[in-house]
Amino acid sequence: MPDSNDKNNPNFLEVGMNAWLQAAHERIQDLDAQPGVDHIGVVDRIGDGVATVTGLPKVRLDELLIFEGSVPGLAVALEKDSVACMLLDACEGVSAGSRVIASGEVLKVPVCESLLGRVIDPLGRPLDGEPAPHAHQFEPAERDAPGILDRELVTEPLLTGITVVDAMIPLGRGQRELIVGDRKSGKTAIAIDTIINQKGGDVISVYCAVGQNAASVNKVLDAVRRFGDPDQCIFVVANADDAPGLQWLAPYAACSMAEFFMAQGKHALLIVDDLTKHAAVHRQVSLLMRNPPGREAYPGDVFYIHSRLLERAAKMSDANGGGSLTALPIAETQAGNISAYIPTNLISITDGQIYLEPKLFNEGQKPAVNVGKSVSRVGGATQSAPMRQTAESLKLDYAQFLELEVFSRFGAMVDERTQRAINHGQRIRAVLRQNQYLPLSLPHQVALILALSEGVLDRLEFDEVPEFKSRMSAWLEQACRGILDRVAQGQKLSREDKAAMGAALRNLADVIVEDRKLANGQIGESVD
């Protein structure tokens, strides 16, 4: 009788096959299989971060594509038989003939409070060495701007802590203000001081670096960490050596992250550094896609890519939460040519511009703001009541001084009245000069402007004005604490408050004059 365990026995083979079928049947029953369809295309050609893909007839604009090696891409142009897309990562391993999978969804970026304090790329991947942020919400990088009926008038001030801006070029929450100037003229410094000034406030800052080198970005990060509150900031970085598609995506991704807070009824500040480099990346990508070039080889839609971005900045109505998104884009000029193609495009889109002049920068006037060429089209509607009250004639006085200063340089004799106007204008210039990373609070700015309008600084020597500025804060904290609190709340100065603060400022000036006389040995001399 044959053994049932003998492998040559036919019964043994039948028992083994039945056991295998039973196990396979149990595994199949445990599977939760769902039918699905994958849209798979093929790379036709690729180069410099731009690829043309065929075989994806149902792809939508801005859809996320996945190339071999899990390289993400963005569909940006739909042709009859092909799709042009930008790769959002290094394209090693992707070549002609590589497979491409359409995700079926538009590109979305993470938007959540866990991004605060983090340094990330436009796709939300960490760049600060920390674990990936836990994102529970994603929104499209490209979104429609709020409609007219969803918006409210821009009336709340956004304080930068920079006296020349807050006094003469006031910004409002929901405004779009361009910062424009030559390279190394202090554009980023103004943006960073604005971020630092939001420390302890209710504004969340999103800084977006486009095409910057790593050293410049690290300098910004160090400044905010030392002087500001990085936990109120998100840093979105696409360096110069990143893929062109990632640099192109950066401002839109950063704007979506800022819009998340606006939708919650909060206030957000978006800084894009800078849109000139973003335009250059767009030109590069468009030429690689063989789009027809226009003026200065830029494609015809270069205006549209920035207008659809900046139009997303808004002050929302109370029915829509009452939040705001303020945009401070940065643009670079060449040799002070503010009428170049990209700067003029951005000036026409935004609500004003802060123009930084290299000549003033080289003369040591920092921030080097040219008040004559700078403007805020929202204007005094956003300025706080005490600042508007004290700085009403400041811009006119400063403009008159600049004209008189040019006239006096020719060596012409000036009368006493003209000389007083020139001396007063020099003190205005000294007040507007401000060190980086040291933004001033609203009460101290108002006190400085009041000292100018009351003629307190005219009693001092020109080189004594910096000493007055350095001693003023502590002096007023002791003499006018209640008045400073009311100014910080935006209350208009009453006649009594104005008189009391003016008296305290004059007392400080008298102390500085006495110290000078004591140092010069003039105390005790008889005066007939």
Q: Which CATH number fits the domain that encloses residue 489? A: 1.20.150.20
Q: Give strand ranges (E) for 14-70.
A: 39-47, 50-54, 63-67
Active site residue 471: no
The SS3 of residue 400 is: helix
Helices 275-288 + 244-263 axis angle, to 10: 130
Give ∠ CA 22-28-29 in degrees, rounded to 5: 90
**Same-domain pairing of 83 and 114:** no
The last residue of a domain, from among 106, 121, 152: 106
Q: Which helix (H) or strand (E) holds 428?
A: helix 416-432
Residues 270 and 255 in one domain: yes
Q: Within a domain: residue 395? A: yes
Q: What is the SS3 assignment for 200?
A: coil
Can you tell me which residue has the tokens 């899990």?
70
Query: What CATH number has the domain bearing residue 80?
Result: 2.40.30.20
Does one domain contain both 279 and 171? yes
The model carries a pTM of 0.89
**Partner residues linked to 272 by β-bridges:** 208, 329
> Which residues is 83 bridged to in the sheet?
53, 78
Residues 148 and 260 in one domain: yes
pLDDT tens for the 528 residues of the chain, in order: 445 455 555 565 565 556 666 766 666 666 665 665 678 899 999 988 999 999 998 899 999 999 988 899 999 999 888 999 999 998 888 899 999 999 989 999 999 999 999 999 999 999 999 999 988 899 999 999 999 999 999 999 999 999 999 999 999 999 999 999 999 999 999 999 999 999 999 999 999 999 999 999 999 999 999 999 999 999 999 999 999 999 999 999 999 999 999 999 999 999 999 899 999 999 999 999 989 999 999 999 999 999 999 999 999 999 999 999 999 999 999 988 999 999 999 999 999 999 999 999 999 899 999 999 999 998 778 899 999 999 988 989 999 898 888 877 766 677 888 888 889 999 999 999 999 999 999 999 999 999 999 999 998 998 999 999 999 999 999 999 999 999 999 999 999 999 999 999 999 999 999 988 888 876 555 443
CB burial of residue 416 (10 Å; 0-12, 13-18, 19+)? exposed
Number of domain units in the chain: 3
The one-character DSSP state at 391 is S
Please give the structure tokens belonging to residue 195: 């971020």
Residue 326's domain comprises 110-383
Number of Cβ atoms within 10 Å of the Cβ of 334: 10
Residues 66, 162: Cα–Cα separation, whole Å: 46
Rounded to a whole number of angstroms, the CA Rg of the chain reads 31
Residue 425 in contact with residue 400, Cβ under 8 Å? yes
Amino acid at 136: H
Cα–chain center distance at 73: 25
Q: Is residue 5 part of a domain?
A: no
Task: Give backbone dihedrals phi and psi of 87, rounded to 5 degrees, phi first.
Answer: -80, 135
CB contact at 8 A, 120 and 133: yes
Q: Which of 225, 226, 290, 377 is catalytic?
A: 377
Residues 288 and 246 in one domain: yes
β-bridge mates for residue 328, sequence order: 271
* Residue 140 and residue 177 share a domain: yes
- State the DSSP string of 222-241: HHHHHHS-GGGEEEEEE-TT
Those residues with Cβ within 8 angstroms of residue 190's Cβ, 6 or more apart along the chain or in another chain: 160, 162, 165, 179, 354, 356, 367
117: region left, alpha or beta (phi > 0 left; psi from -120 to 50 alpha): left
